[in-house]
Amino acid sequence: MNFEELLEESVRIHGHLCPGQVLGVRMAIYGLRKIGITDPKGQDRKKIYLFVEIDRCATDALQSVTGCSLGKRTMRFVDNGKMAATFVNLESGKAVRVVAKEEAREKAKEYFPEIDDKYQCQLEAYKIMPDDELFSCQSVTVQIPPQDMPGRPLSRVKCDSCGEYVQDMREVRVNGSVLCRTCANGGYYQIEDRAYC
C-alpha cells in the first residue's frame, strides 16, 4: 500500500489535509498489516471488520484506506472519544486494537523544530515517525454478534408504539410490547408535530 496515494485518496474524501488524516492513514496501514490484510478493497474486502472509537478526521482516513463503512456493516462506531481503532480479520479471528499515542503530539517537534505551527509540524512528523512512536497495539478478542455482521438483516419487526420498523434485533421488549429504542428510552430528537412534513 502506497502511503502517499492512500493519503491523497483520503484527503479527497475528507476534504482537506490535516494531522488526523495522516494519523488515520498510518493507523490503517499499521492495523491492516498486524492482522494480515494486504488488499482491503480487493480480495480481502470480506475479511475485515473495523471498530472506530472517535468521530474525528482520522475515522474518514480509516474508512478510506480499509474500505470499511457503516453502510456495508463492516465498520462499527463505539463512541469512546479515543483516537483508537480495532482491526479484525474475520477469516483468521486475529484482532488488534491500535491507539494513537498522545506523546506523539509533542514528539513531533523533535522531527521538525523549524516549523512553528504545531498542526503543520504534527502533519509532517506523522508522515515519517516510526510506528512505535505513533501507536500502541494490543492483541484483543472481539465477539461480533450475528446481528452486527455484514449481510442481509436477520430480523425486521414493527414498533408497537410508532409503527416504524426496527432491523437486526435493535428492538426493546417492554411488558410484552415490541418497541424501538426511541419509544422505549427516548431519542436524540423530539417530535414537534405528529403530522408528517
pLDDT tens track for 90-145: 999 999 999 999 999 999 999 999 999 999 999 999 999 999 999 999 999 999 99
Per-domain residue ranges of the chain? 3-146, 152-197
CATH of region 3-146, choose from 3.40.50.300, 3.30.1330.130, 2.40.50.140, 3.40.50.9100: 3.30.1330.130
Q: Do the Cβ atoms of 27 and 58 come closer than 8 Å?
A: yes
Q: Which three cell numbers stand for residue 84?
A: 483508537
Average pLDDT over residues 49-78: 96
Amino acid letter at 190? Q
Residue 8 CB coordination number (10 Å): 13
The structure's pTM equals 0.91
Amino acid at 51: F
- What is the C-alpha separation between 175 and 40, in angstroms, rounded? 45
Q: Is 111 exposed, middle or buried (0-12, 13-18, 19+ CB in 10 A)?
A: middle
